[in-house]
Amino acid sequence: MNFRTPAVRLGLLPASIALALVPSLASAQEAASGTTDLDRISVTGSRIRQASMETAQPVIALTRADIEKQGFTSVADIVQNLSATGSPAISRADALSSGEEVGGQYVDLRNLGPERTLVLLDGKRMGVSSGGYTDLASIPTSVVERIEVLTDGASAIYGSDAIAGVVNIITRKNFDGLEASFYKGQYGQGDGDKTTYNFVYGQTGERGSLTFGAEYSEEEPVLAKDRRYSASANGYRHPTPTDDNSNGWSAITENGVLVTPGGNYTLNPGGDPTNFADYHGLTNADLSNPSQQMFLSTGIKRRSVFSNGQFDFTDSIRGTASVLYTEREALQQIAGYPYRSVAYDTPLSADSVFNPLDTDVNFMRRTWEMPRQTKSELNTFRFSGGLEGSFEFADKYFDWDVGYVYNRNKGVKTGTGNLFIPNVQNAVGASYIDANGVAQCGSAAAPIAGCTPWNPLLPYGTAGQGSLDNEALRNYLFLPSHDTSVTTSKVYSANLSGSIVTLPAGDLSFATGYEHREEDANYSPDALLQSGLSTDLAGAPTTGGYKLDEYYLELNVPILADLPFAKELSVDMAGRYSDYNTFGDTINSKFGLKWKPIDDLLVRGTYATGFRAPTVADLYGGTSETFDKYTDPCDTTFGAAVRNGDVAARCAAVVPANFRQEASGGVDASGAGAQSNYAYLSGSNEELTPETSKTWTVGLVYSPNFVQGLDISLDWWKIRINNVIAAESVTSILNQCYVLNNANACNRFVRDADSGQVVDVTRTLINGGYQETAGYDLGVKYRLPELSFGNILIDWKTTYVDYLEYKRDNEDQTAVEQHTGWGTGDWGANFRVRSNLNVDWSYGNFGVNWGVRYYSGLKEECAYDIDGGPECNNPSFQSAYTLAIPVRNTGSNTFHDLQVRYNTPWDATISAGANNVFNHEGPVMYSQPNSSFSYYGGFDIGRFYYLKYTQKF
């Protein structure tokens, strides 16, 4: 039985009819009162339509009123502030991040990765990148009616990716009238301006409705130099370079450095660059601070239009359609490229007119004149259409729908500021002075056409021949790159739900359906990058796709009702069969229990199996270069060799005495998790199989009738993922070799025979190891009785994470990593406790909302004072995974938000407020979790003031 062709025909035809007819119908008289069969709803986590929102699985709901009381302008920021979310997948403070997904905004439930959180729009899948990421920046806030977050596994209901949970964004429908809104804000430092304009227009008639809206949003970038904790890479406690050129300062400066066997030299101020006598030995005072050119927060612009409509052909048949189009543009900036001629075999030629010596000489120069920028543009087009209806058979009502969803993401990434190696070779090669006294490339007998010679020894800001102030030289050396990507998702679906028989406790209800889905992706790096002839990271194309067919069945069985200690007892069961053309098939199931011993108390629990299919990038991604952040256990300052004699002995055989890990820029690493100075390789694996998961939840919901308006919920949850798809980190491979003495791991990397540096690591994706996490969610919501001085609503949500374990492979010798309570460069910030409290007071047309966001403290490996100085406040820490390792404990952090609002007589709402009203600043964190700077990238970067005006017509 094949639903594909009928689904397309039935989906597109009524959609076009609905959009064509609704404008005329909407001008008719107002909709008749009453409830039809089409008004039953589907709650996130179940396909069975019902009148109640109460289910066996925990669901967090954010209404439009909740959203409007916040000072955040994007859907991603709103969801990110839920206590169940983990670190941002790609923080806007992670200026060094790269890849197809950079520039987007993603949600990560339970810190299990954004690819394990399924995002729905009106109950149907959003499109994803080739890596399985769903960009929430493509959804305008003005279109959102409410957000439902299912914090439970739901593969039996929705298929792949719903391991950590589901975020369902429900759009505004049946809107009548016009609403326009303006938002403006900026940080107390006078930067990071945010501006949003939007409007929503709708008409609702007796049998149909049409809603249309548009939104423009712009957020200006913030420079790292304008915050004290990011003005230097390792924070305000270490603002100047040290003798070992660490602390984030770079020996590759904006002033040219002449590299000779006798040392490194740089030009004296005002000196003659062709006279070696005018150079001095490089000192700390000459070093550069890359943070001065970097963005602390990425700039982003969004333009969106959306529309949805519906038309009731009869009381039991409805046509629906929706369209969304968004253009998103994000801008990153990091410091000019730290060029080392020895890395690219491009010495300053002895025959260059700029060479102060009579021999080829290597040089170092940070190209400060051309900061590296990446502009990420993505446009999203989404269409959803179909028919839905209901019918009666044998005195039972049934609901049905058929539909089609098409989602296309088309992206372009433009990179500037990287050098083209062949042109560098020409520019620093032989040169001569022509008859006009102008330096030219090559020789008088064989000039190089189009080439402009470069003097890399000139300091930044110095004019003259060979200076990077010359636009023609910059155009010759720095060629832009253009990466392109296209991902498409197509979903055909047919669903049927209703009740089968009436049992003593109620109707036995069911939902069943079929889905056919096609995912295709193409990511093509610029030919320049594929050639490997640029200082940018090399990469190969990703091209591929897959198809699948799925069938599901869900049953809701009432067992007892209206009995002592059994006001309600029911079970919910679901199963889903998925057949992929890549790895084969899989079956996943879910069992839920709902028991109300008394009217005031609900006991609920679920058990579910789930899976995540390998993404296109997992299966067909091209091999790419990355500058990994890692910790070499053989480093004699902060590595495991410092405190473990066995590790020291193993390292002594392969590295020189007093070995120091080399970080980006060719300097000694300043601490754990430093970025490599060498590019390592990672790639895909077509033989991957799905990750599998098991989820358990048990919870209580208590709504005492003697305290009207009070609801208390407490849920325990546990998620285990097996056969995790992952590339092992460089740190893990090195630890397996030297700390765990796993000989196999020692063959998976290469050290330089002289320096001992790790110069080559190749990692493919594997199915191996597991992730497991467990914890508790507490929710308290209390709407106080109406008081003489107004109405008060208290909403408090807290998540406590008991543990988050990760085992990277199937090797018995590999220890289990414990991440809860830690901040790391690889895993971000894994808070044990996150808690949000909102208190809202309203009186007449006035209202005040106070929000509190709490994050518990974190541990990180000591980067400074490793022997127990003032920053290393827990030098004796040890665990089964880390062994003995000095640890730094940071304190908890609390951010307060305030909004004051007024509903005017002319049907407008004026809101003014401040996020982080007390200007709280997070602690310095040398592990740089989710950030390229010394703090957690998910924290506020200052006090943010805003004003919002909404007018209804």
In this predicted structure, the answer to whether residue 695 has a pLDDT above a threshold of 50 is yes
Residue that the structure tokens 């919910």 belong to: 572
Q: Is the pTM of this model over 0.85?
A: yes
Contact 364, 259 (CB under 8 A): yes
Which pLDDT does position 26 carry in this prediction? 35
How far is Cα 267 from Cα 279, in angstroms, rounded to an integer?
A: 4
State the CB neighbour count (10 A cutoff) for residue 545. 18
User: pLDDT grade, residue 244 (50/70/90)?
Assistant: low
pLDDT for residue 8 is more than 50: no
Which secondary-structure segment (H or E) carries 740?
Answer: none
Query: Is pLDDT at 7 greater than 50 in this prediction?
Result: no
Dihedral over Cα of 593, 597, 598, 602: its sign: negative
CA distances in angstroms from 822 to 610, 675, 736, 807, 889, listed in the order given: 27, 19, 20, 16, 9
What φ, ψ does residue 115 adopt, rounded to 5°?
-70, -10
pLDDT digits (tens, 9 = 90+) for 522-576: 999 998 888 889 998 878 899 999 999 999 999 999 999 999 999 999 999 999 9
Residue pair 721/153 in contact by the 8 Å Cβ criterion: no
- What is the rounded distance in angstroms from the CA atom of residue 101 to the CA atom of residue 542? 13
Q: Is 193 exposed, middle or buried (0-12, 13-18, 19+ CB in 10 A)?
A: middle
Of 441 and 885, more confident:
441
Residue 214 token pair: 């548009």
Instruction: For residue range 406-457, list pLDDT tens digits in order.
Output: 999 999 999 999 999 999 999 999 999 999 999 999 999 999 999 999 999 9
Q: Is the pLDDT of residue 2 over 60?
A: no
What pLDDT was estimated at residue 40? 53
Across-strand partners of 675? 629
Q: Which range has the worst mean pLDDT, 11-25, 399-413, 827-841?
A: 11-25
Q: Which residues on adjacent β-strands are paired with residue 555?
A: 510, 573
Residues 106-144 as b/e (b if ≥16 CB within 10 A, e otherwise) read bbbbbbbbbbbbbbbbbbbbbbbbbbbbbbbbbbbbbbb
Angstrom distance (rounded) from CA 717 to CA 777: 8
Helices (H), 573-701: 616-620, 645-652
- Is pLDDT at 665 greater than 90 in this prediction? no
pLDDT band, residue 6 (cuts 50/70/90) = very low
Predicted confidence (pLDDT) per residue in 16-71, tens digit: 333 333 333 333 333 333 333 444 566 788 888 765 566 778 999 999 999 999 88
Q: Is a pLDDT exceeding 80 seen at residue 3?
A: no
Q: What is the DSSP letter of 474?
A: H
CA distance linking residue 218 with residue 824, whole number of Å: 31
pLDDT at 28: 32
Which position has the token pair 């991440």? Answer: 819
Residue at 948: amino acid letter: K
Q: Are 520 and 545 in contact (CB under 8 A)?
A: yes
- Do 95 and 332 form a contact (C-beta atoms < 8 A)? yes
Angle at 717 between CA 715 and CA 723, to 5 degrees: 165
Check whether 119 has a pLDDT greater than 60. Answer: yes
Run of H or E including 732 = helix 730-738
Q: How far is C-alpha 723 from the geometric centre of its chain's CA atoms? A: 23
pLDDT tens column, 584-619: 999 999 999 999 999 999 999 999 999 999 999 999
pLDDT surpasses 60 at 76: yes
pLDDT band for position 243 (cuts 50, 70, 90):
low
In this prediction, residue 321 carries a pLDDT of 97
Render pLDDT for 164-205 as a digit per residue (tens, 0 to 9): 999 999 999 999 999 999 999 999 999 999 999 999 999 999
Q: Decide if 86 contacts 112 (C-beta within 8 A).
A: yes
pLDDT at position 43: 79
47 within 8 A of 159, measured Cβ to Cβ: no
Q: Where are the beta strands (DSSP E) in 123-164?
A: 124-125, 144-150
Which of the pair, 567 or 664, is modelled with greater confidence?
567
